[in-house]
Amino acid sequence: MRRPSTSTIVSLATIIAVLAGTVLTYLLRRPGIQINALDVVLPLIAFGALLLRERYPVAALIVVAVAVAAYYPWARLDGPIIVLPFLAFYTAADRGHLTAAIATGAASLLAMGLGETGGVRHVDDSLFIMIAGWMVAAIAFGGVTRNRRAYLVEARRHALDALHSKEEEARRRASEERLRIARELHDVLGHNISMINVQASAALHGLKKRPEDAEAALKTIKETSGETLRELRTTLGVLRQVDEDAPTAPADSLARVDALVAASGLDVRTELSGPLDTLPTEVDLAAARIVRESLTNVARHSGTTDARLTITHKSGNIVIRVEDDGPGTTYDGGSGFGLQGMRERATALGGTLEAGPRPEGGFRVVARLPLKGAR
């Protein structure tokens, strides 16, 4: 069984109180006063309209006001049904029909005032002012509760919007972090595993003809795989947020560009100009990762072991150029993560990265990273 609403309970309580007051008025009436049909019909009409005030606030207000206005001049009893319009006025204002409530209230007061000019006065000045005050208070209270309810709804909407925005921001940050982690793992693992693959191929090729070269290649594989495991353990340790020893290998830097070139296993002609040991940290790391990834791509896709690396300072930028003359001119970026990661690194610093086949053959990567104003 559904529980009655608060509005219905209030209406029923008001009707019971008015009905009890009307019965008491009947029992205490002066001798000789006989009730008529309006003493019963008009209160019943007002009661029925009051029960419908939530669904039809304006219609209920008008019916209650007319019934009460007709009750006192033409009915024989003076029951307390005067309280019914105040509840109807409050409901109409609370439901947003403020104009209708004010107009009905003004019409009721005007009718009451005109009715008292007929000679016999039923309401003195003080009671008239008190009724007008109650009417204004009922309408004002209904308007206040409506405004407060609207304020609470708006506050709730703003809170939900803020929560939604916060969740969207958290999802965006999580997505960016996943991309960053994927880029870091690709840069580290992709390069080192490529070097392992190149050195393993060299070892297999020269195992019988040049055992000393195979031994050097296997030593390089051992060192590279150890470094890969250390870097992978460090990255996973950060993700798990556990206390582990700090990584022993230094971070990539253009100041150690010779080590980057040597680790690639390629024959690289290097041209450097300008200081490389005073670069901003984020620029230095991004530049070193771009050099490493570019050389890895040469070793993996170009079909040659020769490459050229040029690093220059130009117009407030550090320009990195990696070129090869290999036959792999149709290289499309493989899985796409290598070039995408390099381009994202450059863009994050406000720079640019261009990569593509050279007209004269081979492949070229050119990155421009601003030394100042990095974003």
Answer whether residue 75 is part of any domain: yes
Partners of 19 in beta bridges: none
Answer whether residue 128 is part of any domain: no
- Specify the pLDDT at position 251: 67
- Specify the pLDDT at position 242: 43
The 3-state DSSP composition of the chain as helix, strand, coil percent (nearest 5) reads: 65, 10, 25
Tokens found for residue 57: 């606030």
Torsion angle defined by CA atoms of residues 340, 345, 348 and 349, in that order, rounded to the nearest 10 degrees: -140
Give the burial class of 325: count Cβ atoms within 10 A of its Cβ; 0-12 exposed, 13-18 middle, 19 or more buried.
middle
Answer whether residue 219 is part of any domain: no
Answer whether residue 138 is part of any domain: no
d(Cα 302, Cα 324) in Å, to the nearest integer? 7
Give the burial class of 320: count Cβ atoms within 10 A of its Cβ; 0-12 exposed, 13-18 middle, 19 or more buried.
buried
CA-based nearest residue to 234, from 249, 222, 220:
249
The structural domain count of the chain equals: 2
Show which of 72, 95, 123 is a domain's final residue.
Answer: 123
Backbone angles phi, psi at 192, to 5 degrees: -65, -40
- Specify the pLDDT at position 56: 94
Show which of 73, 97, 123 is a domain's final residue.
Answer: 123
d(Cα 313, Cα 151) in Å, to the nearest integer? 60
Show which of 90, 123, 156 is a domain's final residue.
Answer: 123
- Specify the pLDDT at position 77: 85
Answer whether residue 191 is part of any domain: no
Answer whether residue 298 is part of any domain: yes
d(Cα 321, Cα 55) in Å, to the nearest integer? 77
Partners of 312 in beta bridges: 319
- Specify the pLDDT at position 340: 83
Listed in order, strand segments (DSSP E) in 26-71 are: none
CATH number of the structural domain spanning residue 321: 3.30.565.10
Answer whether residue 98 is part of any domain: yes
Three-state DSSP state, 122: coil
Q: SS in 3 state form for 196-231?
A: HHHHHHHHHHHCCCCHHHHHHHHHHHHHHHHHHHHH
Answer whether residue 115 is part of any domain: yes
> Residue 45 is part of which domain span?
6-123
- Specify the pLDDT at position 237: 60
Q: 61, 89 in Cβ contact below 8 A?
A: yes
Number of helices followed by number of strands (H, E) in the chain:
11, 5
pLDDT averages per 10-residue partition of the chain, 375 residues:
83 92 87 86 94 93 92 86 94 93 92 70 78 93 93 91 87 82 71 73 70 72 73 63 50 84 88 86 88 89 89 91 78 60 87 91 92 63
